[in-house]
Amino acid sequence: MQRKTIGSYTYLVNDFGDLVCYAPDETPSATPSTDRPAKRGRPAGAITSTPNPLYALISEAADLGLPWLEDIVYGACVTSGGVSNGKMNCCPRHVLRTLTRPSISIETVGFGLGCSLRAKQRTAQVARHALGGIELYLERNPEVRSRLENLATRNNSKPLYLGGYELNAGYN
């Protein structure tokens, strides 16, 4: 059997000159050609990270077990994370743990949890949703914000960057 190329196709030819069958290439490409750019999905290399300026305040509020914080996180889990068969798709404990980090991203969500990529993405999205609710609550209740700021500066020896201004500016 010999290979015979006609146009852009390759065929197997027997000893009598008859075309026997189509012969596929011996080295098929394992990856699709990258001539065309992808039209769907997130751009390659795009890492979504949201800065969390309230992480110190949220950490203090979580340590105190304030009910308004738990209500906001629970509401974000139900609203943004969704519910399937009466069960929340996102764990409020994971969301609260993510909110106590300086930035919200998939890397900060998954540290030590052992979740799938989709669960990490969902938790990060719920944390962003809850952060908006917490910002709104603290904006409407300035006395609660000032108390949490006092606790945060008292408990930490490092400077805290909250909402664009620095607390504990005398730190060297």
For the stretch 88-106, pLDDT in tens is 999 999 999 999 999 998 8
- Residue 162, pLDDT above cutoff 70: no
At residue 132, the 3 state secondary structure works out as helix
Convert the pLDDT of each residue in 19-61 to its tens digit.
666 555 554 455 555 566 667 776 666 667 889 999 999 999 9
Query: Can you read off the two tokens belonging to residue 52?
Result: 């969390």
In angstroms, the CA 163 to CA 54 distance is 7
Dihedral, CA of residue 151, residue 152, residue 158 and residue 159, to nearest 10: -110
- Residue 140, pLDDT above cutoff 90: yes
In angstroms, the CA 100 to CA 108 distance is 10
- Residue 127, pLDDT above cutoff 70: yes
Query: Can you read off the two tokens belonging to residue 88?
Result: 């929340």
Q: What is the pLDDT of residue 45?
A: 61
pTM score, two decimals?
A: 0.66
58 CB burial (10 A radius; 0-12, 13-18, 19+)? buried
Report whether 122 contacts 81 (CB < 8 A).
yes
Domain boundaries, the chain: 50-159
- Residue 84, pLDDT above cutoff 60: yes
